[in-house]
Structure formats: C-alpha cells, structure tokens
Structure 1
Amino acid sequence: MKGRWLLLSSMCGFFAISFSSQRSDLGKILYRAGTRLAYRGYDTAGVATISEDGILDLRKDAGEVEDLNERLGFSQMTGQRGIIQLRWATFGFPNKANSQPHHDCRRFLVGAHNGNIINTRSLRKELSEDGHTLIGENDGEVILHLLEEPFYRTRNLAYAAQEAAARMKGAYAYVTTSLDGDGFVSVKNGSSLFVGIGDGFRCVSSDLVAILELTRNVIQLQDGDLVHFTCDSHRVCNIRDLEVEINREVQELSITPEKITKGNYPHFMLKEIHEIPSKAQELIRYLPKAEHTCTVIEKLASARRIFFVGAGSSHFAGLLGSFYFGRLAKIPVTPAFGSEFLEKYPGCVDERDVVLLISQSGETKDIKNVLDAIQNRTQVISLVNNIGSTLAMRSNYVIPIASDLEIAVPATKTYVNQVIALLYLALKIAQTKGTNGLSAREFLSLPDLLHSVLQDESKVAPFAEELARWPDAYYLGYGMSYPVVLEGALKMKEITYLHVEGMYSGEFKHGSISRLEEGYPVLFVVSEPEKYYVLSHVNEVRTRKGKVLTIGPPDEELKAESDLYFKLPEAHPVLMPILSTVPLYMIAYRTAVDRGCNPDRPRNISKTITVD
C-alpha cells in the first residue's frame, strides 16, 4: 500500500533502533534521528546505547540536541541498539535528572517515552513506599520502575508492560529494553508510534521524520498495540492479549527524504511558507476526489447546527470558515476552542448536529477530549493533515488537508489549507443553494495569487523593522479579516516573543486605544467590503499619532492613509483573507530572524500539544 498523508507531530519524541551486531556508527544514526525530531522538544535530550555484550552507555542533560552532541558526544557512541529522546518539559524541570532515557533501580532496564502519565504523583508515592529510588520528577522515569518488579519476576518485558499498563493513566507511547535482551518492546496508548522496517534493522519512532531517511517501509501502530522487535523481526499484539498476534499492514510511503530537509532555505518555516501555493494547488485538485467530500457536504448542508472546533491556528481557521459558511452558504456556524466547547456545548448536541474537529496532527489533546465527550452522540467530521491519526480514525468522516510534512513548530501551510478546505465546502453548499458569489475560475486562481504574493516578500522588511522597535503592537481586522489578524498576531507571539494582540478593529476604541502613543504601530488587514469601516478605525489611530501599517487590496485611498502599505493582488474579496495571511507570516518570520530568534523552534512550545 502506498501511503501519502500518514503524517503526525506531537510533543516530545523518541527513536530506537536495533541492529544484528555492534555498529560503530550507531551514535551517528541516533543523533541524526534526534535532529529530525528536534522540533518536537528541545528542553532536554539524551542517548542510550547497548553493546553486544550488554554494556549500557547513557548520556543526557538539559539543552538542545545539537549543543549536547558537542558536549556529550552523542554521535561518537557505539553499540548494537540504542535510543534517543528529546523532551518538551511537562513533568519536572529541564535538567539532567529529568532528561530521558531513564533506567530502573538496577540500571538494567532502559527506556524513553512521549506523552503524559497523568497519575505520576500517586505512582511516585507508591513506588517510593515500595523501596524504589526515583532520581527526578519526570513521568517517563515512573514507567521504568513500574516495569521493574514484573520483569524480574517473569523475565519478559511484554508481560511487564501489560502489568504496568494497568497502573498508568494518560496518553503516551514508550520504548524499553533490557541489557540482556536482543531488541525492544514498545507500546502505544494515545501518542503517535511508527515501526520502520529496513534491511538488517527494525526501528520505532514517535514521528516519521526520524525513520524516512532510513526506510520508507512503515507500520503505523494503533492505540493498545505492543510491538516486540529485533533487528530482523517484529511481532504486534494488543497489550491486553499478548497471545494473539495482530497483522498490521506495512505501508510503503511516497514521502521522500528530501521533504524533511530545509533544502536551500535557512529555516523550515521559510521553506513551508514558500510551499503554500503548491500545497494549495494539490489540495484544490484533491478535494473533489476525496472519499468523504460529497458526504461531508451533504451532512453540513442538512445539519441542524454546526460547530467548528479547534485550538490555536486551527481555531482561527475554523473562525474564518464560519465567516465563509455564513456569507456564502448562508449557514450559521458556531466556532469554539476545544476547551471552550467542553464547557458550553457537549450536552447540547445530538445526531441532528455536526461537529467538525480541526487539527493538523489529529492528536491535539483538547480536541481529542471533545471527541471523547461527543462520540456516538452526534456526527463528527475531522479536518486533519494525518489520516492515520486518532481524530481521523475515530471520526465518522475525514477531510485531509494534504499539506505533507510541516516541521517548523508554527503552522503555516497547514493553516492555509485548512481554510481552503473550509472555503471549498462552503462554496459547494452555496452552489446547491444558488447563493455562490465566487466563480470556479476565481477559486482555481488562488494558488497563482498566493505565488504572486510571495514574489513581493521583500516588501515586508519595513513592517518587520517597525514592529521590532516596540515591545508590543496591535493587529486589527474587520469582518473576514478578523481571524486573519488573530493568526498573524499568534505567529508574532510564537516566534518573536513580542506581545502582539489581534483584535476586531471596531473594538479597539472600547478601551485598548489608550495604549496609543506617538509612533506606536497598529497593523490593519483590510479587504474591499469593509474598507470604509476600517478607514474610520485607521483615522482613530492616525489622529492619536499612531503609526498605521496596512495589508490590503490595490487601493489608493487606503494607501494614502497608511504609513506603510503592502499591496495584495487584485482578487475576489473572499480570497483576500487567505492572501493576506502570507505577508503576515513573512513579517513574523523576518522579525524573528532580525531579533535572533529561531522561528523553527520557539521557546516553551511544541508542534502539537498532547496535554490538557
């Protein structure tokens, strides 16, 4: 089977590999896999290798994997099998004691995990009372100590994992081995996990990016799966029934290793911004042929109520989608954050309603919580980049956004494709009602228009220079531009560490305008329908000596009222919110680089948040 959009990202990451004999290049292989996983966590990193004769070499500490390699020599390590783990801190401060991989009391079992064991505190108390010595506070360490007693009793890691699973609560995946073993045991329970099958080796990883350089033959494990693998064999079973083997299909992925490199770009974020037009083109071609598209359109058109639920950028995509459904399809939609939906609406939906869950990874914890609350009570559609994810597997219908791998932590091309997918669904419903205000030709021109915006990327430099002079700023939008300024402001906060607040422009005068002083930057995103409303808001800023930065259509009046103006190409107003996203991304990227920030790995955040 050829797999294409089997893509996933999540917080923390590990990779483990087993060969048939001692390898002098094992450290290099593990370190390279670690650099591929670095966007998933960069608070701590560590490597464990085990030699043919069972000698453990464990090196770990707080810091980024590249810096630790220079200091600890990860790439110089040797062995027959090994693990690398990169951590985004949730349980325990980023320090050596909380770095992974961890070991048990006897230093005989070693392993690493990603995800969260939510009952860590009570488990630590129980283990300490039973005589275990826990070195740090990290939840991953608990796993090794839970495995300890049943392993030494049975000398079987799979049975030990089965007993440990009964005591752990949370969403996680982990890999472990014993020094006298010939391979690894790995378990998936709510966090991503893949098996790679190559010539003379088997490996597991939290993410495909660590595997693709070695092999494109992959098994995607499902929740509850336990795999035992050596260099030349693997066996999958359910952790609750270890006697029955499960035949998980090996998929040959069409993703090439080149797609996980930066190419000629200095950062993945810049590369992925430049991929926006081509990925938009691929999605527009794919949507009419997607398996569930027609059914999803019918379900949305006939629903009593519709909810768009997301988090972060995915929520803003849903918010813009709600404008499209209201304006084009004449259908009201309620957009909500995942955590907000759980407090307001779970008891209000039934089989007459549709809840559309939006998540690039399909593993976002807030959104999975919503699915847990409403599954089997209402119709659920997922809009995801990973058709093998939890959301996709458990939803009634799936719309893939076909964006390929997105490695930079900030969402760019995935956000744009989420919006395009929602616009497409709104347009198709509008066609059935005879209310469509956008022609097929105009919609199909979108990739070319996006490409033309990127041709003007040098024009964002004055915007970045102006915004970098201040510790904060406001982004204001009206109507369909409102979700766009929220997304643009989020990108600035994520990667520049400047506080930029996105706001509905009509609300600025109700309090926040007090922030204005001479030269203070306020950026407006404008499309033609709301021009005269926004001009009034622009003048409110200008008369108080604020500096007006504007992204908008070709319009001399708007340009004359602005200190800086980024002119978008002529296009239908419905497309303007999508086009204006690109210069906002470029402004954020340029500002981050000018401030010496790494836009691919902003501090304190991970690609996908898999905790509450």
Structure 2
Amino acid sequence: MCGITACAGSTPALPFLMQGLEKLEYRGYDSAGVTLVSGQGLTTVKAKGRLATLAASMEGGRWPQTTGIGHTRWATHGVPSNLNSHPHVNETETIAIVHNGIIENHRPIREFLEDAGYHFHSETDSEVIVHMLDYYYRGDMLEAVRKTVRYLDGSFALCAVCTDFPDTVYTARKDSPMVLGQTEQASLCASDIPALLAYTRDIVAMEDRQIAVLKPDGIRLYDFDGKPVQPVWLHVDYDVQAAQKGGFDTFMEKEMHEQPYVLSETLRGRIFQEDVNMPELDFLDMHDMKAVYFIACGTAWHAGLYAQYLFRKWIPVPCFCIPASEFRYGDYPLGPDTLCLFISQSGETADTLAALKEAKKAGAPCVSVTNVLGSSLARQSDAALYTCAGPEIAVASTKAYTTQLVLLAAIVLKLADLYGALVPDRRRLVQDLARMPRVAQDMLEAVPDGISHGAEALKDRHDAYFIGRQLDYVSVLEGALKLKEISYIHADAYYAGELKHGPIALIEEGTVVIALATQPEVAAKTISNIQETMARGADVTLITGQSQNAEGFQDVIRIPDVHPYLAVIPVTILLQRLAFEAAEKRGCDVDKPRNLAKSVTVE
C-alpha cells in the first residue's frame, strides 16, 4: 500500500522523488522519507506524519545528489514513527532500501540475522531486507539482490541503493506493483503510474519475479535467475493534469463530478442499439460453464454483487460473488468449466491477484475488469476489460465504482448473448444503460434537499443504518461503506426484511435511517419495513422511484425514471454525496481517511 519513488539520473533526484511521493500519498501517509546517495555516503531524512512534514524538514537545504529513493508509508508492521518509517539503512550506512508489501517470513530471517550479529532498530518486516542485502553483498549489488529476493516469502516491490554504485538504483518486484520510466536525463521508477506522468507517459510495468537496474543512461531488466528480459513499453493516455484537483477543493469531489464523462468513456464503443460489442469475451463457450464466480474486494466486491444479481436473473448457470480474501481459502470448485471474473480498480489488489493465481492453476478461464492498463490483473488474465475512469486519487472510490457497474452490466448482457439467454425488457435496459452518463449529470447538477438534511442529521451521530431489498441491498452496502470510510460514522447495511429479526432493536428516537425503495416488485414491502423504523422514532431519508407512493415521509428523494436494474447508478451518486457532505460537516479529510490506503497490495 505504500508509495515508492526512485531516480538514477544526471540532474538532482529530489524534485522527482518528492513530486512522485505527492502523487502517491493516497497509497500511504503515516510517515515519509528519502535517501539520497553519492560516493561520499547516504543522506536519509524521515518524518512521521504527512509528506508535508518531510518537505518542511528539507526546505532550504542543498540536495545535489542525482540518485535517490523515496517512500510514503501505510503501517503494517510497527506503529507510525521515525524509526519504523522508510528508507531503512544497514549499520554501516552504505545500503538503503524502501519496500512495499509484506515479508511473511521476516521473523525467521530476523532471528538468523540477529544470530549473525545484525542489530535491528525498527519493528518493521522491511528492515530484514536491507540487512540481508548487506549479508550477501560482496561487491556485486545485483547478485546481492538476487540472493536476497530468493529467500523472501510474501509480496514486495523494493528499491535499493548502495554507496559503491552512486548512480544506480536496484528494484525488484513480486506480487506488488512497480513501474519504470526513462527520460533523457534519468531512469525512474515508482509504485504507480501517476508518479511518472510529469516526466514521461511511456512506462514499463514490471512483471512478477523481475529485477531492474536503473542507471542514468538506461534500464536493464532481469528475471530472478539473472537472465536478461526485454522490457515491454506501454503508452499511458492520460497526463498529469488528469490527476490534479481541477478547481475542486478535494479529489473526491472532483472525481464524483467526473462520473458523467468517465461513464460515457467506459461505454463508448460498447453499445450499439440493442447489441453489446465485447469481442474480448468471444473465446468463451458459456454452455460449457458449470459455475461463474465474481471475485473482488471492498467496493469492487459490491460491483460484483450487482453483476451476480443480473447474472442470476438472466442466465441459468450457478453464479457466486465471493470476497477475494475468502476465495483462495474456501475450497471452491475450479476448473476449465468455471468462469472467474476478477474486479479491481488498480489491478494490483493482493487478495484478488492471489485468487487469480488459484484459478489459473486450476485451468479456469479468467477475465479481469480493471481501470489500469498493464496492471498485474490485466496481464495475467485471459481477457481484460477496462473501465475508463482515469486516475482515481481519493481513497474512497467513486467514479471507479460506477464505471465498474456500467461495464459489468454490459458484460453480463454479453454473457447472456453467448449463452443464448433471453433478457426481458432488453431494449429499454440497453437504451437506459446508454443514457447513464446523462442521468449521472442530472444527479450531480442539483443535490436534493434530502441529502443535505441527511448529512446534517448525521453530523453529530455515531450510528446510521441503511436498508433496502434486492438490488437496493447492493446500494446500501456501498452507501454504508462510503459513509464509514470518510466520516468515521458507524454505518450498517441491512436487508429491509431482516430488520425485525434483530436489528430493529437498535432503532430509537433520532436514529438516522437511509432507506432505498427503487425496485418496483419489492418497494411496497420495503416501505412497510421503513414505517416500522419511523414508528420507533427514526429520522428517515427515503430514496425511491418517480411513481412510488411515499405518503407520510418527510424527506423523499426521487431518482430519474430508469430501468430498475440501473437504479443503482443514480442511487450510488446520491449516497456518495451524502457521505461526502456528512464527512465535511464533521471536519474529516475525505481524500485521506485514517487507516486506509487506495491500493491494497497486502493481504
């Protein structure tokens, strides 16, 4: 989850390191640090807290070194502190490293190194790496890296520098992302693309079990056995301006307002009248499939639940949506007759990649839905389908989620076509899918009074309850997650019909309830469930369709008249706004909520 930058160049390295860390601060922000290297030694500066603290501590200094590594940390082992922050250095201060990931066998390695006379100064798993490099270093730094990574279990993207080679950065990757770039003045690397965009839009996404050697005049790539590998260059279409706030106060608000555009980009070329254009899936024979799995984490899992609902409505094949963190341990039947669809904004989510490996090992056809060209998930899948959300910087997902929803709706329509299944009311569904960008624009242009009232009601509350049935349950799961992520209000989501089986005991005078009733076949029953909470004093905000009778409700928000299976799009935008306004009223940092990071690259 941490952010990494590194530079080996002919001009000062610090400007690249710091601007890159700023672009990656969404990946981790409890401490930051840099190491600059020259033939005279290492200069390491670290600071607990946000990147601004590090920048302030370095302001006014002279930093001419042309090679260096940088890091922003999201704590996994050891509390946030100067000692636990990266970079870590060996005892003679000749080698320094930064690391993203988790070294699962760090304890036995630590014990071995302590027996060999090494002393540790942090609580982190990462510090074993720098001491192992020192242990194996005999004048050949590349060989020391090769020997070290051979003994590391778990996930890692790491960069190392050594005073004996002051113009060189060594980097290695296993199950954690790392991208490389090249300019006329320097070789660069980072844990995510935005860090490179101000310098180059041509990148190399390192594969698993690869080592790169960065020098000012070029990049050499090897596998873990030391065999040279030919780099594969990719061109990134978006530029650095796409990752700026664009006049908004926060990235989250900017990204919410980008949804009409990115929804249209995601659907562009996919919808023609009633047909879905998705040749990437033509290799599948759906009649051979005995089961279909949608696999994801967090918000992407909610998108998978949406896809599961549509799939079960239209296609008579068993279908399951399973959190990736559970999938690899669940003994689910896998084989060539089980289609696995993996969903991840970054394409680097550790649990999702681990599940993908299990599926591939069993010979299952694997399809990925991701936002990042060249991501690990996309490269390792049999087919990759891309959302076109562009860079999403705010930790809480907004536009990445809604683009997943529309793309998954199109994917399930395509799978129904491949199966030969009849989709009821297909014409209206596809037409409404095509107009989702306009619907999103309408939802953003006029924020209903009920949202502002709901946010005000939440300002001083510690709890909120979201209820809905059928597809509305998917929406309340995401709405509750968004609220708790950025406002720190305890928020639970329940099936409306399950309230009387326990949760209604939590309802008392003034309890905030966000209720959804957008699905016509169950809306009346949901309304009855909501009235049960009102009878016990709940402060209810109801979100429903245009024609639903809502007599007796004070705060009613009506979404546009869309196919019920697409109501999740406007509802999601409303609930994003509710969470955003509640968080702002409570004085929370919506872009960088505590304890969270954007790309979860550890299990």
Query: Normalising by structure 1, what TM-score?
Result: 0.92
Contact 1:68 1:74 in 2 (8 A): no
Which residue matches 1:7?
A: none
1:175 aligned onto 2:159: yes
The offset of 1:464, in angstroms, is: 0.8
* Code of the aligned partner of 1:434: L
Partners of 2:390 and 2:479 lie apart in 1 by: 22
Alignment of 1:252-401 (within 5 A): 252-287=235-270, 290-295=278-283, 298-300=284-286, 302-329=288-315, 331-346=317-332, 348-377=333-362, 378-401=364-387
1:549 aligned onto 2:546: no
The offset of 1:299, in angstroms, is: 3.9
Contact 2:301 2:321 in 1 (8 A): yes
1:443 aligned onto 2:433: yes
The offset of 1:88, in angstroms, is: 0.6
1:579–1:109 distance in 2 versus 1, CA, 3 Å: same
SS in 2 for 1:513: helix
The offset of 1:393, in angstroms, is: 2.1
Contact 2:10 2:66 in 1 (8 A): yes
1:81 aligned onto 2:73: no
Task: Extract unaligned runs of 5+ from structure 1.
Answer: 1-10
Which residue matches 2:201?
A: 216
Bigger mean CA deviation after superposition, 200-209 or 388-397: 388-397
1:48 aligned onto 2:48: no
Which residue matches 1:8?
A: none
1:367–1:231 distance in 2 versus 1, CA, 3 Å: same
1:386–1:74 distance in 2 versus 1, CA, 3 Å: farther
Contact 2:278 2:414 in 1 (8 A): no
Which residue matches 1:510?
A: 501
Which residue matches 2:145?
A: 161
The offset of 1:556, in angstroms, is: 6.1
Which residue matches 2:46?
A: 60
Which residue matches 2:273?
A: none
The offset of 1:535, in angstroms, is: 1.0
Corresponding pairs, count: 590
Partners of 2:407 and 2:506 lie apart in 1 by: 37
* Code of the aligned partner of 1:260: A
* Code of the aligned partner of 2:293: F
Partners of 1:387 and 1:27 lie apart in 2 by: 28
Which residue matches 1:31?
A: 18
SS in 1 for 2:491: strand
* Code of the aligned partner of 1:198: T
SS in 2 for 1:509: helix
1:476–1:34 distance in 2 versus 1, CA, 3 Å: same
Partners of 1:585 and 1:236 lie apart in 2 by: 43
Match of 1:233 among 211, 218, 223: 218
The offset of 1:257, in angstroms, is: 1.1
Contact 1:410 1:494 in 2 (8 A): yes
What do residues 419-444 of structure 1 show as CA deviations (whole Å, max 9, x unaligned)?
21221122334454333323232221
The offset of 1:123, in angstroms, is: 0.9
Contact 2:465 2:512 in 1 (8 A): yes
1:74–1:554 distance in 2 versus 1, CA, 3 Å: farther
Which residue matches 1:456?
A: 446
Which residue matches 1:3?
A: none
Which residue matches 2:565?
A: 574
Partners of 2:416 and 2:189 lie apart in 1 by: 46
SS in 1 for 2:264: helix
Contact 1:27 1:74 in 2 (8 A): no
Which residue matches 1:5?
A: none
Bigger mean CA deviation after superposition, 279-288 or 416-425: 279-288
What do residues 37-65 of structure 1 show as CA deviations (whole Å, max 9, x unaligned)?
100001110011124x4332211022111
* Code of the aligned partner of 2:183: G
* Percentage identity across paired residues of the two chains: 29
1:59–1:89 distance in 2 versus 1, CA, 3 Å: same
What do residues 326-381 of structure 1 show as CA deviations (whole Å, max 9, x unaligned)?
224455421111233234343x2222221212222222222222223232422222
1:299–1:579 distance in 2 versus 1, CA, 3 Å: farther
Match of 2:413 among 409, 427, 438: 427
Contact 1:188 1:223 in 2 (8 A): yes
What do residues 546-579 of structure 1 show as CA deviations (whole Å, max 9, x unaligned)?
1111122224622x33232222111111111121
The offset of 1:480, in angstroms, is: 0.7
Partners of 1:293 and 1:300 lie apart in 2 by: 10
Contact 1:305 1:354 in 2 (8 A): yes
Match of 2:581 among 584, 587, 590: 590
1:100 aligned onto 2:91: no
What do residues 517-536 of structure 1 show as CA deviations (whole Å, max 9, x unaligned)?
11211111221412101111
The offset of 1:217, in angstroms, is: 2.2
* Code of the aligned partner of 1:272: E
Partners of 1:149 and 1:220 lie apart in 2 by: 29
Partners of 1:561 and 1:220 lie apart in 2 by: 57
Contact 1:237 1:246 in 2 (8 A): yes
Partners of 2:553 and 2:304 lie apart in 1 by: 30
The offset of 1:142, in angstroms, is: 1.2
1:217–1:343 distance in 2 versus 1, CA, 3 Å: closer
The offset of 1:291, in angstroms, is: 4.9
Bigger mean CA deviation after superposition, 569-578 or 99-108: 569-578
Contact 1:69 1:75 in 2 (8 A): no
Contact 2:47 2:53 in 1 (8 A): no
Which residue matches 1:17?
A: 7
* Code of the aligned partner of 2:479: G
* Code of the aligned partner of 2:6: A
The offset of 1:446, in angstroms, is: 1.3
The offset of 1:389, in angstroms, is: 2.4
1:109–1:430 distance in 2 versus 1, CA, 3 Å: closer
* Code of the aligned partner of 2:337: R
Bigger mean CA deviation after superposition, 211-220 or 381-390: 381-390
The offset of 1:597, in angstroms, is: 1.0
Which residue matches 1:248?
A: 231
* Alignment RMSD (CA, Å): 1.9
Which residue matches 1:6?
A: none
SS in 2 for 1:122: helix
Contact 2:289 2:317 in 1 (8 A): no
Contact 2:292 2:340 in 1 (8 A): yes
The offset of 1:232, in angstroms, is: 1.4
SS in 2 for 1:292: helix
Task: Extract unaligned runs of 5+ from structure 2.
Answer: 271-275
